[in-house]
Amino acid sequence: MSFADDSYSFCRHYEYETRSEQWQSICQKPAPPTPASPRASSSDSDGGAPTTSTRLTDADINFQRVSVSGEDTSGVPLEDLERASTLLIEALKLRSHYMEISDQSFPTTTARFLKTVRLKDRYDNLPVRTVSEIIRKQSMVSFTDMHPTSSLKAPHAWDVEFVPDESYIIKPVNGVFHIYKDEALTSELNFTYPDMSQFVNDMQVMCNMIADGPLKSFCYRRLCYLSSKYQMHVLLNELRELAAQKAVPHRDFYNTRKVDTHIHAASCMNQKHLLRFIKKTLKNNASEVVTHTNGQPMTLAQVFQSMNLTTYDLTVDMLDVHADRNNSRLREVFLKTDNYLNGKYFAQIIKEVAFDLEESKYQNAELRLSIYGKSPDEWNKLAKWAIDNNVYSSNIRWLIQIPRLFDIFKSNKMMTSFQQIIDNIFLPLFEATNKPSENPNLHRFLTYVIGFDSVDDESKPENPLFDNDVPRPEEWTYEENPPYAYYIYYMYANMTVLNKFRQMRGLNTFVLRPHCGEAGPVQHLVCGYLMAENISHGLLLRKVPVLQYLYYLTQIGIAMSPLSNNSLFLNYHRNPLPEYLARGLIISLSTDDPLQFHFTKEPLMEEYSIAAQVWKLSSCDMCELARNSVIMSGFSHNIKQQWLGPNYFEDGISGNDITRTNVPEIRVAYRYETLLDELSNIFNVNQKCHVKENE
């Protein structure tokens, strides 16, 4: 490896290079006494060997470090570095503000750096909340019940605590629900959120930033440096990482916990599984009435007769899951929660998928269920479906996906304004929070819901930017669909108020994890940066170096689905996943739609297997991806402690337990130290600028 600039030189170091005392005091914590260390005698509930080592710091990990020497290590003129530093810190503060008020997570390392900044803007006095401070209060499953023999039969899954009812009045104001203490609407609970004008201004600031030439050059150079540094790290330390993994008893990639962070419930099974289920159901329930057509009841056998099909004729090709042309009736019968049978067959097949996950023990999934916003009773129907059919598993959590289909509803005269969609999606949630006893099923179901997703084809033409004159939801009565940012803003704003309300009531809160950056304008990724805790896909980050660098600095989780992308948008070999992983972005592998893209009984393992073969991922890379998937998932705090270690939310190696994650301390220390170096590079310059100004 060589660099044109002589000021750059890569050196091998066997001892940790001590940083300046200023940043050491900010970013490194003293290790607690050995007896108090949770890692001093930890053991995994599923057979992991106990560890007896004392708690180490990153500096104690012995490996060959790669560093840059010289007075100027950024490779750009000082003026450009100062300007880039100011802009990047402004962007970091914007995200910390949006995450703080919506009760979503922000990385502790970046938060500590931000606390040192003395820029005078409207966020100066805002306390930055850390990951460990805002762990969501979700279903707190006891350790003994972590993996029951058959969680689907557990009678206590839906026995949740009910808080007392309140009598607050809930009314929308400019598309966002406000909560009042009396019917006269004179006294309001002060739940703040960014208004539309502030969001528009912040979007414009970010869009100007990503188009800034010098900043693009700076971020591109830093990303290239991160890639090169990682290659050097692997060259020097690959064998040490492998030796560290071999030294851990019981644990390997197969029995490390992994979560499918992006998978749709209606296609969570593979084609052969669905075909086998349909044949079995037709054999055993042929005379059961499953639908009404033209006012006439139709049995399952009659449905197949109307399609000129028998069980012998049915094949995977005949099922035609890709095109969905001739099998809409089959989808209605087997893959819907709201049909004539109230989703009976769909619940059964979800239970079969859940059983497979429980059998594997180490695989988990976050299934997406749809709420369309067509009517206010969708939520109660969905909750009733889950509880009546006991669709519960300790290996599954739910995300609610909201399709962006207002234009279709409007053209079919199902609603008059966009406000109706907001009312149908969010008002039932506020009512269930306000009066749980009047909405018992929904209250129980929401215990296992971790957040919201926004789905649709991102490549649809739209005007991605709008100004303060954009119509409010009650005024949006056009046939045209609102842009992506409009949907995301009103989801975020209402979720922010809902989270504050639920937090006040002692209930679990939600996060925003939309499909983002698969196709379409890059402004979608700006929305994700400002308002989403994690995103799905993120392919377009490869074209926007400023945003990619910011996603790295803020450690935003990205659930990537290379096999899905290969079929729809981007050839597998051009997928940026290995590049993102090398640079240190928080990446997880997910399946998206096993019904369309996978062939085996374990689609998530199929995804890992193909990625490992095509990109030559090491065992350490695979375990790092698995660990990332658990960290960015919505499983509860105590479950993550069981899977990753009691201190998983801490920085550096203190947050890693190799006996559970199988990720070597060397890899974790490298990631942490590299992030510290990048943040120090930016924030040191900013501090020097302020010193000069004061002089």
Mean pLDDT per 10-residue run, the chain (695 residues)?
40 39 44 38 43 59 84 75 92 96 94 74 44 40 35 64 93 95 87 94 94 93 96 96 93 95 94 91 90 86 84 73 57 89 94 94 95 94 95 95 94 94 97 95 95 92 84 93 95 97 95 94 95 95 96 97 92 96 97 92 96 96 97 94 94 93 96 94 74 51
Instruction: With beta carbons less than 8 A apart as the criterion, state whether 516 and 455 touch.
Output: no
Sign of torsion over alpha carbons 136, 138, 141, 146: negative
- Long-range contacts of range 51-58, CB-CB < 8 Å, 24 or more positions apart? 51/657, 51/659, 55/31, 55/654, 56/31, 56/653, 56/654, 56/665, 57/28, 57/31, 57/652, 57/653, 57/654, 58/16, 58/28, 58/652, 58/653, 58/669, 58/672, 58/673
Does an H or E element contain 292, and which?
strand 289-293
Strands 169-173 and 176-180: antiparallel
Does an H or E element contain 173, and which?
strand 169-173
How many Å separate Cα 377 from the centre of its chain? Answer: 27
Alpha carbons 382 and 328: distance in angstroms, whole number: 20
- Which residues participate in catalysis according to the annotation? 537
Alpha carbons 380 and 674: distance in angstroms, whole number: 48
Measured from the Cβ of residue 23, the count of other Cβ atoms closer than 10 Å reads 19
Alpha carbons 332 and 14: distance in angstroms, whole number: 63
CA-wise closest residue to 202 among 337, 89, 91, 361: 91
In sequence order, what are the residues at sequence separation of 6 or more whose Cβ sits closer than 8 angstroms to the Cβ of residue 388?
342
340 phi, psi to nearest 5 deg? -60, -35
Alpha carbons 141 and 138: distance in angstroms, whole number: 9
Alpha carbons 557 and 533: distance in angstroms, whole number: 7
Domains by residue range for the chain, with CATH: 39-134+195-248+655-694 (no CATH), 145-192+256-634 (3.20.20.140)
The token duo for 394 is: 């300790």
- Give residue 22's pLDDT: 42
Alpha carbons 327 and 144: distance in angstroms, whole number: 44
Instruction: With beta carbons less than 8 A apart as the criterion, state whether 536 and 262 touch.
Output: yes
CA-wise closest residue to 45 among 152, 154, 145: 145
The token duo for 322 is: 């890709």
pTM for this one?
0.86
For 630-656, b where at least 16 C-beta lie within 10 A, e where not — what string? Answer: bbbbbbbebbbbbbbbbbbbbbbbbbb
CA-wise closest residue to 397 among 259, 273, 494, 267: 259
